[in-house]
Amino acid sequence: METLRLTTKEEDIRRAGEIIRYGGLVAFPTETVYGLGANALDAEAVASIYRAKGRPSDNPMIVHIADATDLFGLVEGGAAALGADASRLITNLWPGPLTMVFRKSDAVPAVTTGGLDTVAVRMPQNQTARRLIKDAGKPIAAPSANLSGRPSPTTAEDVLEDMDGRINAVIMGEACDVGIESTVLDLTGNVPQILRPGAVTKERLSEVLGREVIYDASLTEDRHDASNEEDVRPKSPGMKYVHYSPKAKVRIIRGSTEEFTERARQIGLDAAKVGRRTAIIDYDGDPEKAARRLFADLRELDRQGYDIILIRAIANVGFGFSVMNRMLRSAGYDIVDSSETR
């Protein structure tokens, strides 16, 4: 199929809304990453998202809404069933990079939730995303707009790299502000639990809720070999799949800029002897900068044909914890200290 390039002008957004209403697929910008959207209530349309991405169909979608009131029809028991935690989070942190998991209503097809009886919902901040959802008049199911396993796209060009010819249209909006996907918070248990870390940190959630928030055990485990995955099964099904993988081999190195630079230089020299090219990235310990650049850099370095990508670690706290989660996954958990010789 031919993939339409749409602008953010009103008539183009209207066209995109129409495509969604008719069961088509439209990629669109959000503040986190680009999403690949379809009508969340149309099982056929949602099934075609899995096909376009080459995604396993047990991996559930996030449903995007433009108004908090759109949430009521998606959750079991409607507005009356939303607890105090949900209300606080909606008031303080929506719209924004926070996804909440609730028990789902019958209105949400099983295909949208990968067969789960829960539904993940997010109200994005990005104006183009909000206009599209409003114009479509439907909640929009949207995973990140990449082929399954590839780094999430943070520019319209990166969407086209994976999706040109596979979807109906792309809204050619701006580069994403945050650069990594939303925080996914499970509200169905006794204690709110983070299934995927993002820009809304654990500390911020605790502050808003006035109580403890915990990480899913799979996020804080040190070892991530295959045997371990058996014991600590992530509750967020998407977290168990290979993710964010460029073609190049990625390695994370801890240490000061000087230590990192020296170690990276040595590795680069060794690799050059056997004809392999090494790219070296230092985000200066800045989590916002790292988040904004990471996925785009991985894609760009792949295009340039690098074999090895060495990235300096950032501090594993606050938003840095979320960014390190993506870096480590893109590296297959290959992380060393500058002083280590392996």
- Using CB under 6 A as the criterion, which residues of the chain lie in contact with ligand TXA when the complex forms? 30, 32-33, 35, 59-62, 99, 101, 113, 116, 118-120, 122, 142-144, 181-182, 184, 195-196, 235-239
144 binds Mg ion (CB under 5 A): yes
What φ, ψ does residue 284 adopt, rounded to 5°? 55, 25
CA distances 207 to 97, 152, 201, Å, are: 16, 29, 10
Judged by beta carbon distances under 5 to 8 A according to partner kind, the member of Mg ion, ligand TXA, none in contact with residue 154 is none
**Alpha-carbon span 164 to 168, nearest angstrom:** 9
* 123 or 279: CB nearest ligand TXA: 123
Q: Helices marked H in 82-225 — which ranges?
A: 84-93, 127-136, 156-163, 202-209, 217-220
Instruction: Pick the stretch among 56-64, 99-107, 140-148, 201-209 that binds Mg ion (CB under 5 A).
Output: 140-148
* 122 or 202: CB nearest ligand TXA: 122
**Alpha-carbon span 99 to 79, nearest angstrom:** 17
What φ, ψ does residue 206 adopt, rounded to 5°? -60, -40
Q: Smallest gap, in angstroms, from Cβ of residue 243 to ligand TXA?
A: 9
* 135 or 186: CB nearest ligand TXA: 186
Judged by beta carbon distances under 5 to 8 A according to partner kind, the member of ligand TXA, Mg ion, none in contact with residue 119 is ligand TXA
* 113 or 144: CB nearest Mg ion: 144
Locate tokens 């509200």: which residue?
187
Beta pairing, strands 26-28 & 35-39? antiparallel
Site size toward Mg ion (CB under 5 A) is 1
Q: Smallest gap, in angstroms, from Cβ of residue 305 to ligand TXA?
A: 27
- Name the residue number minimizing CB distance to Mg ion: 144
Q: Which residues are 310's β-sheet partners?
A: 251, 280
DSSP reduced 3-state for 40: coil
Positive or negative torsion for Cα 99, 104, 107, 109:
positive
Judged by beta carbon distances under 5 to 8 A according to partner kind, the member of ligand TXA, Mg ion, none in contact with residue 113 is ligand TXA
Judged by beta carbon distances under 5 to 8 A according to partner kind, the member of ligand TXA, Mg ion, none in contact with residue 150 is none
Judged by beta carbon distances under 5 to 8 A according to partner kind, the member of ligand TXA, Mg ion, none in contact with residue 30 is ligand TXA
Judged by beta carbon distances under 5 to 8 A according to partner kind, the member of Mg ion, ligand TXA, none in contact with residue 116 is ligand TXA
Judged by beta carbon distances under 5 to 8 A according to partner kind, the member of ligand TXA, Mg ion, none in contact with residue 325 is none
One-letter identity of residue 248: A
Q: Smallest gap, in angstroms, from Cβ of residue 234 to ligand TXA?
A: 8
* 72 or 241: CB nearest Mg ion: 241
DSSP single-letter state for residue 73:
T
CB 63 within 8 A of CB 108: yes
CA distances 132 to 8, 91, 97, 119, 237, Å, are: 9, 22, 17, 21, 27
* 32 or 330: CB nearest ligand TXA: 32
Chain residues binding Mg ion by CB under 5 A are: 144
